[in-house]
């Protein structure tokens, strides 16, 4: 496994920093966020240091998302929240603060006012269609 000696999540994986672990397997670790948006807010990380979503090897990304689903199911059963956000921030501009891939499992309460969602404002369909074509053109080159 690859670790970064300066990464807080790598230190949590190795047990150098305490955490409230809720699920662990050979590839992933899930633990409670100590700065929760709401009660039950958990983080899921691969046991492989990869700085972000785009650099993560597919097998580690897949394992991380499967674990996130298991955690979300347990949170749903435990808390019966109004909803659950599954969030991955990619890069500083998206408010990624720890540069080790992590998935937030964030239970939502009705009226909690967490600023994660954006308003539903219809977009320009021509511009959306044009952008879709540009993105599709890059799908095969990655």
97 occurs within a structural domain: yes
pTM of the model: 0.89
For residue 91, what pLDDT is reported?
93
Looking at residue 98, the DSSP 8-state letter turns out to be S
pLDDT tens for 89-137 read: 999 999 899 999 999 999 999 999 888 766 667 888 888 888 888 888 8
**Which entry of 41, 100, 102, 104 is annotated as an active-site residue?**
102
In a domain, 140, yes or no: no
Active-site residue, 90 included: no
Range of the domain at 58: 8-117
CATH code for the domain in which residue 48 is found: 3.30.428.10
Our CA angle for 93, 41, 91, nearest 5°, is 15
136 occurs within a structural domain: no
When divided into structural domains, the chain yields a total of: 1
Residue 141 domain-assigned?
Answer: no
Q: Is residue 130 a part of any domain in this protein?
A: no
Buried residues in 91-124 as b, exposed as e (16+ CB within 10 A): eeeeebeebbbbbbbbbbeeeeeeeeeeeeeeee
């Amino acid at each position: 496994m690859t670790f970064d000696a300066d990464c807080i999540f790598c230190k949590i994986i190795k047990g150098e920093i305490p955490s409230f672990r809720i699920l662990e397997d050979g590839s992933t670790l899930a633990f409670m966020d100590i700065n929760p948006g709401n009660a039950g807010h958990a983080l899921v990380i691969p046991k492989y240091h990869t700085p972000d979503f785009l650099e993560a090897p597919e097998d580690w990304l897949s394992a991380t998302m499967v674990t996130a689903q298991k955690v979300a199911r347990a949170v749903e059963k435990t808390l019966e929240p109004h909803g659950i956000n599954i969030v991955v921030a990619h890069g500083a501009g998206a408010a990624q603060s720890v540069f080790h891939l992590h998935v937030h499992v964030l239970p939502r309460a009705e009226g909690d006012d967490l600023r994660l969602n954006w308003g539903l404002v219809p977009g320009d369909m021509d511009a959306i269609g044009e952008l879709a074509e540009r993105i599709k053109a890059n799908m095969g080159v990655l």
